Chain A
Amino acid sequence: MLRHAIKRLLVSIPVLLGVLFIGFMLMQIVPTDPATVLAGPTASAADIEAIRESMGLNEPVIVQFGIYLGRVLQGDLGRSLISNSSVVDELANTIGPTIELMCASLIWAIPLGILFGTLAAVRRGKASDRIIMAASVAGVSMPIFWFGLMLIQYVGFKWQILPFQGRAGPLWTIEGLRHIILPAITLGGVFVGPVARMTRTSLLEVLSSDFVRTARAKGVSERVIVLKHALRNSLIPVVTLIGLQIGFLLGGAVVTETMFAWPGVGRLAVGAIVSADYALSQGAILVLALSFIIVNIIVDLLYAVLDPRLRVS
């Protein structure tokens, strides 16, 4: 278990370095010379040169990368080229809503997916199984923005049931809760299909195993077999899948945030890239990658909770 976790951590180091290098590259292609900007319009060429020297801009690229790494480790990601606010502040304001949206999506999508998957497995080959599986293929193929646009058009605009623009405050207020519903349905919607599919496959496999046959033989009711014996054992591959799909969820979050004007990191990143705000986009990409790595490690640790065998080895 520990070895597994350490291995995961080691694999994520090159990923992190790669992301940091992309961030560094972004800072390199900024069209204006930072030393000239800092020196101000009245500075002489010698002043600019002195500032260049003091900022380390005359060092070789690899040394500059080292300096950049040092600054990032100290939590200094520079300033937005457009609003001139600190990138770290901008990120601190947007990471919360992104986590909020992801949790609000998973909290209904995963149980629903497991429920559908279980139903399909128990009624294998029957009409309900086929309908659930067809719906899950359709769900995987559906562009997330189309689903979101439908919700905005009907639930948001035509029937005026729920708001669809932005975030209205914390989740414990009624308005805040109302604002997150449509984005959370959109983002969670693409997740139900894969979870249902994986649950079905995994449950079918467990249901044909020896211990289930033994349980049947001693007369345990089918309901208890499915709910107490089989489902629990079939959840491990489902957790794996959820871990693998976190990247997919991140992609969905970027689209959903953009569509619903949800003030999260994804929307910030897209806005920064479109307006060529290099400092801000390097920060946003860095934070997205970092949160992805952290979630993956958490998922890995979750295995140990679900599967005691992993704790020993």
Chain B
Amino acid sequence: MTEIHVSMNPVDEAPATAVTARRTALKKLMRDKGAVVSFVILTIIVTLALAAPLIAPHDPYDNNLRNMLKPPAWADAALPEHLLGTDGLGRDIVSRLLYGTRTTLMMGVMAVLAGGIIGSFMGLMAAYYKWLEGPVMRIVDILLSFPSILFGLAIAAVLGAGIFSITIALTVSAIPTIARITRGAAVVQMQMEYITASRAVGMSDARIIWLHLLPNSASTIFVYLTLQLGQTILLGAALSFIGLGAQPPTAELGTMASEGRNFLFFAPHVSTIPSLVIFLIVLCFNVLGDALRDVLDPRLRQ
């Protein structure tokens, strides 16, 4: 039997089904073990990073040359007060890791948020106003055809190396993907009757975009923001690693991994530990993003 929906109020209908769809999606997501584990790990990491000033056992910038390059607690020569050992300047690695994760996450989240806002705005405009589609999508094509590492290099060359330059580069590289995905999702919504109905009852363009188009495209945008976050954090860390991002002595995971290169042969933990934290964060975002995509937007599954 095919169900036939007869609704006298088409304006209410679409959001209501979207809410139920989201609820069943959440249930499906809870059954995905990888996604749940990733979510838990990410929550713990974010909480630790946010609480860094409260829980860090030492000042992350406090040099102590007498205690430099101490190994982690499981090695023989470890100092009990430095759980993961110390780096080349005798700074406590646990504390630097907490602050470093904070910096790395901040860079990634800021860039993806800014890129997400600009990108989804561009995508919504291109979907709603037909005449804007051509120009906006050409800009997106051009941005998309430009490798993000080159944004990083060019912006760092003009503005100088630093967190600010890198965050801008990461933002610019996040915009085109989000814009394209948003437009794709919004164009589907544009064909729905409730949009026509909203127009018929005299809703303004801005209200339709804000109250209908955006909420109904939101799950797709959200999935891609999650996936983008992993890639953005990875790229940001790589740019910091080659010396274009956060500058020493700032605690940032990529920079920490880079500083540890000098001691790789006798104190490998200095660069291995921050690298592994980056790996873990990006892996969790990717697993979570994949799972979200599967349940929220099965059409997009490749």
Contacts and interface: CB of A to CB of B under 8 A. Distances in A.
Given A18-B146, A201-B302, 6 more contacts: A15-B146, A143-B254, A247-B150, A251-B152, A255-B238, A270-B153
A145 B142 contact: no
Given A14-B142, A153-B264, A247-B149, A273 B156 contact: yes
Interface string A132-151: 00000110111111100110
A281 B153 CA distance: 9
A103 interface: no
A201 B271 CA distance: 36
Contact of A251 (B156, B238, B278): B238
Contact of B264 (A142, A149, A248, A276): A149
B67 interface: no
B279 A142 contact: yes
B254 to A, nearest CB: 8
A19 B264 CA distance: 37
A121 interface: no
Nearest to A17: B142
Q: How large is the interface on A (under 10, 10 to 19, 20 to 34, 35 or more residues)?
A: 35 or more
B250 interface: no
B279 A141 contact: yes
Give the interface centre of B156, B241, B271 by most chain A CB atoms within 10 Å.
Answer: B241
7 contacts: A14-B142, A143-B275, A143-B278, A259-B261, A273-B156, A285-B150, A289-B146
A138 B283 contact: yes
Interface string A23-49: 001100100000000000000000000
B157 A247 contact: no
Contacts of A142: 279, 282-283
B297 interface: no
Interface stretch (B56-64, B77-85, B127-135, B229-237): B229-237
Contacts of B285: 141
Given A153-B268, A247-B146, A273-B161, A141 B244 contact: no
A146 B157 contact: no
Nearest to A25: B158
B74 to A, nearest CB: 18
A29 B158 contact: yes
B279 A146 contact: yes
A60 to B, nearest CB: 21
A246 interface: yes
Interface in A258-301: 258-259, 269-270, 272-274, 276, 278, 281-282, 284-285, 288-289, 292-293, 296
Given A29-B158, A269-B153, A270-B243, A143 B147 contact: no
A26 B257 contact: no
Interface of B: 138, 141-142, 145-150, 152-154, 156-158, 160-161, 230, 234-235, 237-238, 241-244, 254, 257-258, 261, 264-265, 268, 271-272, 275-276, 278-279, 282-283, 285-287, 290, 302
Given A26-B157, A138-B283, A278-B157, A149 B275 contact: yes
Contacts of B283: 137-138, 141-142
Contacts of A22: 154, 157-158
Given A157-B265, A282-B157, A250 B150 contact: yes
A12 interface: yes
A296 B150 CA distance: 15
Interface in A139-188: 140-146, 149-150, 152-153, 157
Interchain residue pairs A-B with the least CB separation, the first 5? A247-B147, A251-B149, A146-B275, A141-B283, A141-B282
A285 B154 contact: yes
Contact of A246 (B147, B153, B154): B147
Contact of B242 (A140, A149, A201, A270): A270
Contacts of A149: 257, 261, 264, 268, 271-272, 275
Contacts of A144: 238
A142 B276 CA distance: 9
A310 interface: no
A198 interface: yes
Contacts of A152: 264
A205 to B, nearest CB: 10
Contacts of A292: 147, 150
A269 B154 CA distance: 10
A296 B278 contact: no
Nearest to A272: B157
A293 B287 CA distance: 32
B244 A143 contact: no
Contacts of A296: 145
Contacts of A198: 302
A11 B145 contact: yes
Give the interface centre of A150, A272, A274 by most chain B CB atoms within 10 Å.
Answer: A274
A245 to B, nearest CB: 10
Contacts of B156: 273
B24 to A, nearest CB: 24
A101 interface: no
A254 interface: yes
B157 A285 contact: yes
Contact of A274 (B150, B244, B271, B275): B244
Interface in A99-139: 137-138
B9 to A, nearest CB: 41
A4 to B, nearest CB: 14
A274 B147 CA distance: 20
